[in-house]
Structure 1
Amino acid sequence: MKILIAEDDPIAAKVLCLTLQNLGHEVVVATNGAEAWETFDAEPIRVVVSDWMMPGMDGLELCGRIRNRAQTPYTYFILLTAAQTGNEDYLQAMDAGVDDFLTKPFDRDIIRTRLYVAHRILRYTTEIRQLKDIIPICSYCHKVRSDEQYWERVETYIGARTGSRFSHGACPECFDIQMEEINKFAESYRADLEAPPVRPAAQ
């Protein structure tokens, strides 16, 4: 996998980078949170390993920015913590959107396990997103097929899954087409009214 590291300690960053590379991963290193955010914002990376305490933008703020970035595939965020990190700190990090934790000093086997979980979760999220992107729709009546194999109107399908409500109207093109049909019908009806009555043929 491609992994973004955010670590201001050059020695810790070097050790972690070499460990990840030895495990077969591609690594991008940022020396602080702000640099990591600029790198991620330019080209999102699916796995981020970030130190918690960094000058300027810390790990929680970095995680928050990644979570709030629009139209971004799910990113697995691992936070680097010290050995004395307490339960309240972990809860705070989870609330901020952190997925997992690594404790310094690093353990190669634990890192391998954490990244195996990250790879599996990212694979599942990709599969789910692909399934949601493929919605069967009738090419004639434009009804959508639900998971229960039931064909329903598009607004019903979307409303049941998002809670959205729809107000119906007509786009300019459809409005013009409908008005043209109405005018044709009105002209035909008027012509019928104005036409002289048809007399029966003489015997």
Structure 2
Amino acid sequence: MEILIAEDDMISRKLLTTALKQFGHSVKAFDNGADAWAEFDVAPVRVIVSDWLMPGLDGLDFCRRVRKRMSTEYTYFILLTANAQGKDSYMEAMNAGIDDFLTKPLDRDQICMRLRVAERILRYTSAIQHLESMLPICSYCKKVRDDNNYWQQVETYLSNRMGTSFSHSVCPTCYTNKVKPEIDKIKKG
């Protein structure tokens, strides 16, 4: 996997980078959240390991930005902390979108296990996104089935899901094959 690291402590960053590379992962490491975010915004990755407390953009704000970024595959976000945090802090982190926590100093076995879980979750997330992107559509009437097993016109379905508006027209092929014969019938008739 390609993993993005945001860690302001040079020794922790080097230890983490070395461990991840030894596990066979590709790593991009940054010494602050702002630079890590700038990289992610240009080239999103599926896994981020970020320190919680960093000057400027901390781990929680970095995660919030990742979660708000549109049209991005799900990113598994692991937060590193050196201090034991209280229940409220962990709840704030979970509300920001954090998936997992690791404490410093880094335990190689723990990061390895967390990354195996991340791989599994990302695989399932991709499968679910693929299934959700498929539209069950009737091959006869072209109605679409929604999540409540209700069949509706494609236009209604898309309008309800995406706020899309439609203007209707007739393509040249349908005009020639369907509309023109009807007009000719009316003129003859």
Q: CA deviation at 1:167?
A: 9.8
Residue matched to 1:108: 108
Runs of at least 5 residues in structure 1 that lack an aligned partner in the other structure: 190-203
Runs of at least 5 residues in structure 2 that lack an aligned partner in the other structure: none
CA distance in 1, matches of 2:166, 2:10: 60
Aligned residue pairs total 185
Q: Give the SS at the match of 1:13.
A: helix
Q: CA deviation at 1:73?
A: 0.3
Residue matched to 1:194: none
Q: Give the SS at the match of 1:29.
A: strand
Residue matched to 1:96: 96
Any conservation in 2 of the 1:143–1:151 contact (CA below 8 Å)?
no
Q: Give the SS at the match of 2:40.
A: helix
The answer to whether structure 1 residue 21 and structure 2 residue 18 are counterparts is no
Two-structure CA RMSD over aligned residues (Å): 3.2
Deviations 1:38-66 (A, max 9, x none): 11011100000001111111111110110
Q: Which of 160, 171, 178 matches 2:168?
A: 171
Q: Give the SS at the match of 2:37.
A: helix
Q: Which segment drifts farther, 80-89 or 64-73?
A: 80-89
Q: Which amino acid aligns with 1:57?
A: L
What does 1:1-203 align with in structure 2 at a 5 Å threshold? 1-144=1-144, 152-155=151-154, 158=157, 164=161, 170-173=167-170, 187-188=187-188
Q: CA deviation at 1:19?
A: 1.1
Q: CA deviation at 1:154?
A: 4.0
Q: Which amino acid aligns with 1:171?
A: H
Q: Give the SS at the match of 1:3.
A: strand
Q: Which amino acid aligns with 1:92?
A: E
Q: Is the radius of gyration larger for structure 1 or structure 2?
A: 1
CA distance in 2, matches of 1:98, 1:151: 35
Q: Which amino acid aligns with 2:52?
A: W
Q: CA deviation at 1:86?
A: 1.5
CA distance in 2, matches of 1:98, 1:155: 36
Deviations 1:49-102 (A, max 9, x none): 001111111111110110000100000000111232211111110011100001
Q: CA deviation at 1:31?
A: 1.3
Q: Which amino acid aligns with 2:151?
A: E
CA distance in 2, matches of 1:167, 1:104: 48
Structure 1 residues 65, 147: CA separation in 2 closer, same or farther (over 3 Å shift)?
closer
CA distance in 2, matches of 1:85, 1:168: 48
Residue matched to 1:195: none
Structure 1 residues 155, 25: CA separation in 2 closer, same or farther (over 3 Å shift)?
same
Structure 1 residues 24, 170: CA separation in 2 closer, same or farther (over 3 Å shift)?
closer
Q: Give the SS at the match of 2:137.
A: coil
Any conservation in 2 of the 1:146–1:157 contact (CA below 8 Å)?
no
CA distance in 1, matches of 2:89, 2:22: 31
Q: Give the SS at the match of 1:79.
A: strand
Q: Give the SS at the match of 1:73.
A: coil
Bigger RCO (CA 8 Å, 6+ sep): 2
